[in-house]
């Protein structure tokens, strides 16, 4: 099984956390998205050029982070569950919070971080909208996390796989220091072996990129 990914991508980190939680081994295929040559080479495999991209077999390909996690939940039923079994409100809540993390936490934080680093052109309207979405999300997450250790309750789920990667970049894009329950959640996430392994891979790359951008 092959996983095409870029270590800096929050959506790739989301999938890798899930795989680590479930103990699923895969062949890592790092995709260079920073160069035209790397992107062109990858588009021969996935014409859309997006990561992550999972190949469980030569004749079956799964794009998009949530779809990948849903796939392995189904194919590896004897591993720790990230979506409650049997559907119902508990499973719907996990899927809702996963989608909320993608749209209203991750995407706006990436927008703010990319504008800050110059990867995207400065756009005050987009930045203001991003800050609004993040602020609303922080308030909602902080309230939820006041009474439970993880986003959807006592168990670590796909919703946590989605939320945690964004919080790393949020530390500089839009800090959450004023939200004590998110701060405590972040500290728990840092101690989670599934995330620690992912962070150990991408953080040196990220810090090197920041140093490079600062020197430019």
pLDDT tens digits, 7-17: 999 999 999 99
The domains found in the chain, sorted by start residue, are 2-75 (3.40.30.10), 88-215 (1.20.1050.10)
CA atoms within 13 A on the CB side of 125: 0
pTM for the full predicted model: 0.96
Provide, rounded to the nearest whole percent, the portion of the chain with pLDDT above 90. 90
pLDDT tens digits, 72-93: 999 999 999 999 998 799 999 9
Q: Give the pLDDT confidence score for residue 216 in this predicted structure.
A: 64
The strand pair at 60-63 and 27-30 is best described as unpaired
Residue 93: name the closest of 139, 152, 162, 158 by CA: 152
pLDDT of 215 above 80: no
pLDDT tens digits, 89-131: 999 999 999 999 999 999 999 999 999 888 888 999 999 999 9
Low-confidence winner among 12-26, 133-147, 156-170, 201-215 (lowest mean pLDDT) = 201-215
pLDDT tens digits, 46-61: 999 999 999 999 889 9
Residue 16 CA to residue 22 CA, distance in Å, equals 10
């Amino acid at each position: 099984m092959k996983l095409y990914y870029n270590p800096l991508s929050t959506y790739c980190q989301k999938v890798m956390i899930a795989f680590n939680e479930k103990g699923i081994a895969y062949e890592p295929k790092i995709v260079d998205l920073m160069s035209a040559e790397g992107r062109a080479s990858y588009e021969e495999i996935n014409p859309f050029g997006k990561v992550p991209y999972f190949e469980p077999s030569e004749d079956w390909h799964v794009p998009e982070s949530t779809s990948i996690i849903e796939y392995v939940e189904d194919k590896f039923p004897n591993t720790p569950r990230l979506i409650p079994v049997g559907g119902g409100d508990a499973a719907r809540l996990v899927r809702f919070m996963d989608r909320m993390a993608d749209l209203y936490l991750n995407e706006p934080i990436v927008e703010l971080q990319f504008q800050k680093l110059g990867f995207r052109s400065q756009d005050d309207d987009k930045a203001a909208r991003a800050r609004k979405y993040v602020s609303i999300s922080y308030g909602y997450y902080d309230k939820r996390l006041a009474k439970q250790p993880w986003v959807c309750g006592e168990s670590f789920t796909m919703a946590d796989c989605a939320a945690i990667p964004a919080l790393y970049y949020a530390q500089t894009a839009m800090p959450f220091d004023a939200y004590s329950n998110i701060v405590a959640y972040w500290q728990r996430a840092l101690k989670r072996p599934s995330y620690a392994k992912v962070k150990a891979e991408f953080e040196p790359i990220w810090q090197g990129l920041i140093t490079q951008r600062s020197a430019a």
